[in-house]
Amino acid sequence: MTDTGFLAARLRRGNMTLAEKLWQMSWSLVFWLCAIATIGFFMLYSAANASLDPWTTRQAMRFGLGLVMLLTIAMIDIRLIMRYAYPFYAIVLALLVFVEVRGVVGGGAQRWIDLGMINLQPSELIKVALVLALARYFHSLSLEDTGRPVFLIVPLLMVFVPVMLILRQPDLGTSLMVIMGAGVLFFMSGVRLWKFITLIITMLAAIPVAWPMLAEYQKNRVLTFINPERDPLGAGYHILQSKIALGSGGLFGKGFLQGTQSHLNFLPEQQTDFIFTMLAEEMGLVGGVTLIGLYVIVLIYGFAIALRCRHQFGRLVAIGVTTTFFLYVFINVAMVMGLIPVVGVPLPLISYGGTALLTIMICMGLLMSVYVHRDVQIGVRGGYDDG
Amino acid sequence: MIINRDNDRIRLFNRRAVALGGGQSLLISALIGRMYYLQVVEADRYRMLAEENRINLRLLPPPRGRVMDRFGEPLAVNRQNFRVLIVSEQTRDLAETLDALANVIDMSEYDRDRVQKEVRRRRSFVPVTVRENLNWEEMARIQVNAPDLPGVIVDEGLMRHYPQNQTAAHVLGYVSSVDEDVLIDDPLLQLPGFRIGKAGMEQEFDLVLRGAGGTSQVEVNALGRVIRELERKEGEAGKDLILTLDQRLQRFTAERLGAESAASVVMDIHTGEVLVMVSTPSYDPNAFNRGLTQREWNALVGDPRAPMTNKAISGQYSPGSTFKMIVALAALEQGAITADQTVTCKGYTDLGSRRAHCWEGRGHGAMDMVQAIAQSCDVYFYEIASRVGVDRIAEMARRLGLGSSTGVGLAGERDGLIPTEAWKRATLGESWQKGETFNVGIGQGHVLATPLQLAVMASRLSTGLAVEPVLTRQMMMEDTVRQRPTKPFEVLDFDPAHLAIVRLGMFEVLNGPRGTARASQLKIPGVQMSGKTGTTQVKNISMAEREAGLPDIDEIPWNERTHALFVAYAPEENPRYALSVIVEHGGAASIVAAPIARDIMTEVLRLDPSRKPRINDDQVAVSQPGAPA
């Protein structure tokens, strides 16, 4: 490594100045994120019948705040993030318990904490917290140890506890998303494939047990997905209307602000979960595929950052947040096209809503921090290591 | 070593990253494939569905089931409700049309503002309700002036109506619009203007009365206007409900109680059917359906006479002397006294330093059990209560139906309270005092009962059976409704001789030379009523007040006057009906409650509803109002 320059050495040690860190940032990724968000602003403008109120203005302000947060997180030393991974996880878990207990005491199922500008949903934040905690755990674990089932008990508990809490809320979609996100981290850490297969078989076997635990509306959603005729005015109707709106958009769409289906209120929640339908109706296949293409660009950045990173913690964090991002996109788009049951998962950077946007921006901030600190050397315990 | 191990880890990570990326690409391709299928392959089909034939599903509200009394007299029905709506895009000028409409029908400024606000919020082709409940004359005027009222349409719907207004309000309850916080499990609840039961039977049987909504699939054009109906699935009308009440007696009782804050229950002792359940003052359930103003609501809730409360099941009162039969039966069963043994009443009895008074300050002299009940001698019952002990009295009270709710099937029913030594330790943390047993002996102190429980008690005393009250006869369907118990009531296992003594005491109350309510005996030749008065203090009388002489009733503020109670059954020789009456702060039972009880019982015996054929199902179907003459 004699040919590395002055900066490269500091990159390795991680003691960069703020300006150097800013220089190291992937500004092109920030650009793509802004591009997606801008499409979102236009869609919210259209959803409100060509009005900035009530959604576009607020969403733009939130995105601005989110951008500041992204940049701030990107500047934080990755070792600091690693050190506080467990405490952060513990705090979010405590918040999750808090909303659960308050829901029981208050009699209503309120899943959020009101912070004024946004309503904080701990079940969203746990996605990030879990990625960090699992990455920290597997960073310290050698490949051999990863192969031993005993060492999987702790991380499995880290997944299981919040998932049970979210299931109790009850929020099936988020629970599944947390499980899938965590599963990817286990996979990337080197857990053997047959263990996944065993687990999946076990979970399938657990369906008869878990079924009575689901809330009536969740059972309805699953049953309605299997047979949409069951509930012509409820979820089945929404899927049908969503498909009509989407399909009628055709190749080039009906034009901006011209989506009759969305604007005649055939579509439910066209500003949140069904916003992709509106985009596809107004912009057609071309618009929809363009948006998906933008998402794919972000995903490619995520994978590239993960592969370029020199430490396991960073690799796992990068792949974890990228997967979370992917799951948001896939679940939402597949849902509005009737490929999977109706679950309340927003479209990242487009759907109106505070916590999901916050989660996405934290994810992207972490990804960026991994990128900025890609060459830092971290020991097993998180300190300097010249290994 | 570490580096080598880490290199393994990196190689594995890279391999798996490729797999993961491949998997994600595959899923994304699936999304794009699906989009292509929907937007290109199937585009024409969906375009047709969307552009020309937009299918819109509308929900058709089912008619709510009716509620009728035992003879089919309607208590809650659906009335046609004519509404006037306005479609803003069909008007030349909204304000102008509203002005013209205001000349034809009554329309408040408030209605006007609301309409204009709603029109701005909705799309211009959506009809907005201007006013509901138009009468025929207003309808006619709108039709005649139709040319001047472009965009005005008249629409017909159903609205709950209670033809008897206040008379059975507490049993029926009322319907009102759905609260926002109600869990939406039925899409019907989301219909604007849909009403659900909020109290009484309307609430209790809401799901059965509600029925199931139908759907109408309509074709809407590109602007959202209805072109034609494609398919119609009729809903299921709500089921009718038949109560055990007799509307004529219900009305008579309500009128007899008049302006008092009072309650009365009449039961058929053989079947447990509740014929009358009245609580006054009452409210008009129609007002809730129409929507109450804040001021009307405040007036209802703030009234000290509690018109919203069904006092027959939610009012808990000291039963006072009506409790004495229970003490007497407990004493006989324990052998604490025989019917012939006497206790001498000198107007008071001493317990340590405290003195407990009889209502008859001069004393009753030597009292046997029949006379003690007939004359309601307090000293006699202090004595036998202290011999029996509070726990045995409590056990007897429970056997006669006190101390727990009767389960008649109305929300808000209270348990009353029958104290025991264990109860006092558990709730107040104090041990039982002997003086308290004195209080229990005359049905005061902690003892509480609802008027319904007292009517049940009278029924059980008259039959010796564990009579249970019911309010619903049967629904027009089998499975959802608790059928009236077909098996006979349990036998309460009293010694018939003991029951006979207590009944004789109750007979003497009205028909004996010294009975407390002898002025209120029935005036029907050959028919007698048995009963018991109860006058309960709501405020302690201090020694000083007692010595100063008790004031005249008119000088006491209303809310400090005694409650007047009466329980009875009739006819004496072959009992059929039992009743209870309570007049809050009415004064003396013999002056206020007993005459009311006599009048109600006279009317009950005159109409004798239990012996008349009731409606059967086919009669309900054609809805024959009124009883067969």
B565 touches B580 (CB < 8 A)? yes
Q: Do A143 and B54 touch (CB under 8 A)?
A: no
Tens of pLDDT along A199-215?
888 888 887 887 777 77
Tokens of B33: 């494939």
Instruction: Give percent above pLDDT 90 in chain B.
Output: 35
B339 touches B370 (CB < 8 A)? yes
Q: Do A289 and B40 touch (CB under 8 A)?
A: no
Pick from A251, A264, A296: CB nearest B40: A251
Residue B116 is predicted with a pLDDT of 81
Q: How far apart are CA B583 and CA A37, in angstroms?
A: 72
Pick from A143, A261, A315: CB nearest B50: A261
Residue A34 CB coordination number (10 Å): 13
A335 touches chain B (CB under 8 A): no
Residues of A (73-132) whose Cβ lies below 8 Å from B: 108
> Which helix (H) or strand (E) segment is B3 a member of?
helix B2-36
Return left, alpha or beta for B407; rule: phi > 0 is left, psi -120 to 50 is alpha, else beta.
Answer: left
Q: How far apart are CA A290 and CA B452, in angstroms?
A: 73
User: Where in the sequence numbering do the catalytic residues of B fall?
Assistant: 321
Which sequence spans correspond to the domains of chain B? 58-243, 247-285+308-611
Strands (E), B513-552: 530-536
Vertex A316: Cα angle to A119 and A164 (nearest 5):
50
Vertex A146: Cα angle to A141 and A152 (nearest 5):
100
Distance from the Cα of A96 to chain B's closest Cα (Å) equals 23
Residue A211 CB coordination number (10 Å): 11
Using a CB-CB cut-off of 8 Å, the residues of chain A touching B14 are: 307
Residue A3 is predicted with a pLDDT of 45
Mutation site, A248, A267, A278, A307, interface B, largest B CB count within 10 A: A248
Residue B123 has pLDDT above 50, yes or no: yes
Tens of pLDDT along A312-333?
999 999 999 999 999 999 999 9
A283 touches chain B (CB under 8 A): no
Q: Do B222 and A285 touch (CB under 8 A)?
A: no
B355 touches B364 (CB < 8 A)? no
What is the edge-to-edge ordering of all strands in the sheet holding B530-536?
B274-280, B262-268, B577-583, B563-570, B530-536
Mean predicted confidence (pLDDT) in A71-85 = 93
Task: Find the range with the poorest average confidence among A13-22, A80-89, A113-122, B311-320.
Answer: A113-122
Q: How far apart are CA B120 and CA B123, in angstroms?
A: 8
Using a CB-CB cut-off of 8 Å, the residues of chain A touching B9 are: 142-143, 190, 312
Q: For A318, name the nearest residue in chain B, comparing CA atoms only.
A: B17
Pick from A144, A284, A333: CB nearest B31: A333
Residue B390: closest CA among B441, B463, B339:
B441
Residue A126 is predicted with a pLDDT of 93
Mean predicted confidence (pLDDT) in B364-389 = 92
Instruction: Give percent above pLDDT 70 in chain A.
Output: 84
Mean predicted confidence (pLDDT) in B508-514 = 91
Distance from the Cα of B225 to chain A's closest Cα (Å) equals 11
Q: For A181, name the nearest residue in chain B, comparing CA atoms only.
A: B20
Strands B241-243 and B67-68 turn out to be parallel
Task: Find the range with the poorest average confidence among A264-278, B219-233, B311-325, B437-451.
Answer: B219-233
Residue B106: closest CA among B79, B133, B126, B144:
B133
Tens of pLDDT along B138-192?
888 888 887 778 778 777 778 888 998 888 899 999 888 776 555 556 667 766 5
Mean predicted confidence (pLDDT) in A192-204 = 85
Residue B614 has pLDDT above 70, yes or no: no
Residue B306: closest CA among B262, B353, B272:
B262
Residue B482 has pLDDT above 80, yes or no: no
Residue B620: closest CA among B242, B171, B238, B159:
B242
B455 touches B267 (CB < 8 A)? yes
Mutation site, A246, A289, A315, interface B, largest B CB count within 10 A: A246
A181 touches chain B (CB under 8 A): no
Residue B485 has pLDDT above 60, yes or no: no
Task: Find the range with the poorest average confidence among B59-73, B93-107, B531-545.
Answer: B531-545
> Could you report the predicted ipTM of this complex, rounded to two decimals?
0.89
DSSP for B122-138, please give it: S-TTS-EEEES---HHH
Q: For B44, name the nearest residue in chain A, comparing CA atoms only.
A: A248
Vertex B559: Cα angle to B437 and B515 (nearest 5):
55
Residue A2 is predicted with a pLDDT of 43
Residue B291: closest CA among B168, B155, B139, B159:
B159
Distance from the Cα of A14 to chain B's closest Cα (Å) equals 19
Pick from A190, A216, A260: CB nearest B12: A190
Residue B105 is predicted with a pLDDT of 84
Residue B213 has pLDDT above 90, yes or no: no
Residue B625 has pLDDT above 60, yes or no: no
A183 touches chain B (CB under 8 A): no
Q: Do A306 and B17 touch (CB under 8 A)?
A: yes
* Confidence label for A297 from pLDDT (cuts 50, 70 and 90): very high
Using a CB-CB cut-off of 8 Å, the residues of chain B touching A237 are: 57
Tokens of B466: 């564990």
A322 touches A302 (CB < 8 A)? yes
- In CATH, which of 3.40.50.2300, 3.40.50.12160, 3.40.50.300, 3.40.710.10 is domain B247-285+308-611? 3.40.710.10
Mutation site, A144, A192, A240, A244, interface B, largest B CB count within 10 A: A244
Q: How far apart are CA B120 and CA B158, in angstroms?
A: 27
Instruction: Give percent above pLDDT 70 in chain B.
Output: 86
Q: Is B187 exposed, middle or buried (0-12, 13-18, 19+ CB in 10 A)?
A: middle
* Confidence label for A234 from pLDDT (cuts 50, 70 and 90): low
Interhelix angle A122-139/A172-189, rounded to 10 degrees, is 10
- In CATH, which of 3.40.50.720, 3.90.1310.10, 3.20.20.70, 3.40.50.300 is domain B58-243? 3.90.1310.10
A323 touches chain B (CB under 8 A): yes
Distance from the Cα of A236 to chain B's closest Cα (Å) equals 12
Tens of pLDDT along B1-30?
455 567 888 899 999 999 999 999 999 999
Cα torsion angle, A97, A102, A105, A107, sign: negative
A296 touches chain B (CB under 8 A): yes
> Which helix (H) or strand (E) segment is A363 a member of?
helix A354-372
Pick from B21, B24, B46: CB nearest A243: B46
Average pLDDT, chain B: 83
* Confidence label for B295 from pLDDT (cuts 50, 70 and 90): confident
The DSSP 8-state label assigned to residue B484 in this structure reads: P
